[in-house]
Amino acid sequence: MDIKNYEKYISAETLMGPSCVRILEELFEKYPQKFSKDDIILDLGCGTGLSSLVIAKETGARVFANDLWIREEENKKRFSEWGIYGQVIPFCADANNLSFDKGQFKALISIDSYHYFAGKEGFFQEKILPFMKDGGVILIAIPGLKEEYSDKGNLLSDWLGDEAYMFKSAKCWEKLIGSHCRIKTLKTWEMGCFEKAWDEWFSVNNEYALGDLKYYETIIKPYTCFVGIYVKLK
């Protein structure tokens, strides 16, 4: 995967946090996958669809780009401008109430969003697994903690306010994914693209990036990381 292929799509409008392009680069290099043009990948929490663009270009598969907060019409317009509408289809639905067909997806990819809706036991088994094909794969990347700090609320509150509870360590996420008869392999790790992804976010220079920058050296860099999650199904 060549990051340069996507530089023209990265802007203050399309990037919603640390670079999803950089994060996807690590996921695809660590766990390379092969897809056909008939396979369907669910991009869960796709935001403006920048991640969906990369997924479509790198895999050649069809992509269902789902987000709760970005309207279908908005992403449809953007996908059409990018020349990917048709291969990438926008949806707007709550991750807790998806209405896709059972066993529809060869893969699920979720970048910087899974922690908002999946931080309780049983979510993965009840809300994700039913939509996955046998032999499918799940790739997730989310902001998390380097370790489970007993006072994480105080450590992170200046930056995150009452959303600090969403941040968990790789080990904690492994426990939350849990075990299931359909799971063949489960791996979690602290991702190596942390600094580059944050630097690329700061470079777009929008108000949200500037807000994060104020806390990077004192909170974000010392205590947080990106947690990678890989699940291979039987």
Residue 154 has pLDDT above 90, yes or no: no
Residue 226's DSSP bridge partners are 143
pLDDT at residue 150 in the model = 83
Q: Whole-angstrom Cα distance, residue 46 to residue 90?
A: 9
Q: What is the radius of gyration, based on Cα positions, of the chain?
A: 17
Residue 57 has pLDDT above 90, yes or no: yes
Asked: is 3-233 a CATH 3.40.50.150 domain? The reply is yes
> Is 0.75 surpassed by the pTM of this model?
yes
Rounded to the nearest integer, the mean pLDDT of the chain is: 96
